[in-house]
A and B are shown apart, each in its own frame.
Chain A
Amino acid sequence: MKLLYKILFVAAAGWALTSCDKYLDVKPKGLVIPERLADYEGILNSPTMTRTFPLNLLDFTDDYFNNIDVLAQSPAANGYYWRPIITVNEKASPDVWGPLYRVIYDANVIINGVPATPEANTELANSVIGEALVIRANCYLELLTVFARSYHPATAANTPGLPLVTSINVTDKTPARSTLKATVDTLIANINRAIPLLPTSNTNKSRVTKYVAWGLLSRIYLYMGDFENAEKYTDLALDAPHAMLDYNAYATYSAVPRYEQSSEVLWHRAAVSGSPLFMIYSDDLKAHFNDDDIRYTFLTTTNNNGLGRSSLPGTYNFGITFPELYLTKAELLARKNQYDDAMDIVNMIRQNRIKTAAYADQTAGSGEEALALVLAERRRELAFSGLRWFDMKRLDREGRMPEVKRINPDTQEVYATLAPGSANYTFEIPVRVQLFNPGMELNHQ
Chain B
Amino acid sequence: MHDLAWLDNLQLRAATGFNGNVPASNAGPFLVLNSGLNTLLVPAQQYFDVLTPENQSLRWETTRNYNIGLDYTVLNNRVSGSIDWYMKRSFDVFGQFDADPTSGWNQYNANTASIENKGLELMLNTVNVKGRKFQWRTQLTASFNHNKVLAVKATEFATSERIALGSSPVQGRPIGALFSYNYGGLNALGQPYAWDREGNEKVLAFFGTAQVDVTFDDMIYNGTTTPKYVLGLNNQFDIGQFNVSLLFMYYGGHVMRVEQPLPHNIGYFANNPLQGSSNFWRKPGDEKITRIPGYVRASSLAPGYYQSYALYAYQYASEFVRKADYIRLRDVVITYNIRGALLNKLGVSNAHLRFQAQNAFRYTFSGNDIDPEAIDRVTGIRRLETQPFYSLTISANF
Contact = CB atoms under 8 A, between A and B. Distances in A.
B40 to A, nearest CB: 5
A26 interface: yes
Interface of B: 13, 15-20, 22, 25-26, 28-36, 38, 40-43, 45-51, 53-60, 65, 67, 69, 84, 99-106, 108, 110, 156-157, 159, 206-209, 295-296, 298-300, 307-309
Interface in A226-266: 258, 260-261
A314 B28 CA distance: 38
Contact of A170 (B35, B108, B308): B108
A163 B16 CA distance: 51
A102 interface: yes
B47 A47 contact: yes
A32 B22 contact: no
B209 A445 contact: yes
Contacts of B18: 8, 12
Contacts of B159: 90, 435
A431 B207 contact: yes
Interface stretch (A92-100, A209-217, A375-383, A386-394): A92-100
Nearest to A165: B102
A432 interface: yes
A183 to B, nearest CB: 14
27 contacts: A1-B69, A6-B15, A8-B15, A11-B19, A23-B58, A23-B60, A32-B32, A32-B34, A33-B31, A33-B32, A34-B48, A43-B33, A43-B48, A45-B47, A47-B47, A48-B49, A90-B207, A97-B102, A109-B31, A169-B54, A170-B99, A170-B103, A170-B108, A258-B42, A260-B40, A260-B41, A260-B42
A94 B207 CA distance: 14
A70 B298 contact: yes
A200 to B, nearest CB: 19
Given A43-B49, A46-B38, A206-B41, A9 B17 contact: yes
A70 B296 CA distance: 11
A45 B160 CA distance: 42
Interface of A: 1-2, 5-6, 8-9, 11-12, 15, 19, 23-24, 26-34, 39-40, 42-51, 70-71, 73, 81, 83, 85, 88, 90, 92-94, 97-98, 101-106, 109, 113, 163, 165, 167-172, 174, 203-204, 206, 258, 260-261, 270, 314-315, 415-416, 428, 430-438, 442, 444-445
A92 B106 contact: yes
Contact of B15 (A9, A24, A26, A203): A9
Contacts of A24: 29
Specify which of B32, B42, B57 lies most central, judged by the most chain A CB atoms within 10 Å of its CB: B42
Contacts of A93: 101, 106
Nearest to A28: B25
List of 6 A-B pairs having minimum Cβ-Cβ separation, nearest first? A105-B104, A28-B25, A8-B17, A42-B48, A5-B15, A46-B49
A170 B50 contact: no
Nearest to B263: A71
B157 to A, nearest CB: 4
Nearest to A431: B207
B47 A46 contact: yes
B40 A206 contact: yes
Contacts of A444: 208
Contacts of A113: 31
Contacts of A70: 298
A12 B19 contact: yes
A5 B42 contact: no
Contact of A12 (B17, B54, B299): B17
